[in-house]
Amino acid sequence: MSRSSKMYKQACKVMPGGVSSPVRAFQSVGREPLFISSGKGAYIEDADGRRYIDYVMSWGPLILGHAREEVVSAVTKAVSRGLSFGAPTGAETELAEEIAAATGAEMVRFVNSGTEACMSAVRLARGYTGRDKIVKFEGCYHGHSDGLLVKAGSGCLTGGLPDSAGVPAAYAGETLVARYNDADSVRALFAANAGKIACVIVEPVAANMGVIPPAEGFLEALRAICDREGALLVFDEVITGFRVAYGGAAALYPGTPDLFAFGKILGRGMPLAAYAGRREIMRFVAPVGKVYQAGTLSGNPAATAAGLATLRILREGKDALDPALDRAGEKLAAAYRAAGVSVNRVGSLLTPFFAKNAPSCYEEVKKCDLALFSRYFSRMLEAGIYVAPSQFEGMFVSAAHSEEDIAKTCKAAANACEGLAEMIQ
């Protein structure tokens, strides 16, 4: 029995499913999870000493790779001065200034997770507009707060649970669900709920039902609808922020949002996230305004140091780094296409889909062949390539992936997909 298997059995005795987050359990690919002992650059090593090229990258935060020296040094220095003070630090202001300069947001509030960021942005939208209902999209995941677990993606979709037990029906009823890339479905909801909708929250590039880019004109249409109806537009850039471009998806596509939610890369793998937006809206947040939100560990020095070091590296190197990540992503996408597998890609974020055509919405994603994906996943793992154990997640390319790593992955993908593409219905 492998060490990972022993560790998994031990974990299952004291943790639900043996994991701290559902997708990690590998249930959708019919395997036991790997237990990871270390990571460096583009590689991770499991508890049994097996080494893999990593495209999970902690589910997105590690755009610079594992254990980047400048980031480790910044965190070490911060930790040596104290883990948490429950008081303001200068580093928070510096990081907020970096976010504002990159994205155009005027004010920032730090929290600890993407779930908190989205939940707080929605509460702020309700407080600002005085309305209760919100619009989200099928297959988009905005964290596990009650009102946003309706027709959710990511782990909910992976586990076959688009909704969650424990969410009151009355609360879920305030969440209206539209179809991603279908502006008419949004217009219909506003028509049926005139004057009641506080905001539309959307992943500008959907990345929690696999990667799905916005259709031409979709985000602009959302902006126009919100302007006409007096609602706010919220971009959930927890995954896309600082990845698809240094300024996030808002820098790539028209349809500027009123509020953002950031996470993942912002904390570089440490618990740090933020919501941000226009000054007039953010001033509704306590202690200035009446929308209450607080957090003992929000903006803690260690996480803030990691985020600040990461964003500075990305900003200083963006002219070379963004195109390099884009090229690496396209090489991988081309390898999958050559193997007969559909692909969606935006920059360094991509998903191969075991479906006839690359999907553009939740309904099309559900047609993917999960059994074929499971076989592909196992073949990749055996070849030393670690991809997400779910059809409904993305591959994350990092600055640490070398040309040799990409070439090896392309070859492994071709072999892993051999004979499977022909079986796609």
367 tagged catalytic: no
264 tagged catalytic: yes
Written as six digits, the tokens of 125 are 């939208």
Set 264, 275, 322, 369: catalytic member:
264
Set 52, 141, 246, 275: catalytic member:
141
236 tagged catalytic: yes
Set 236, 258, 369, 405: catalytic member:
236
Active site residues: 141, 236, 264
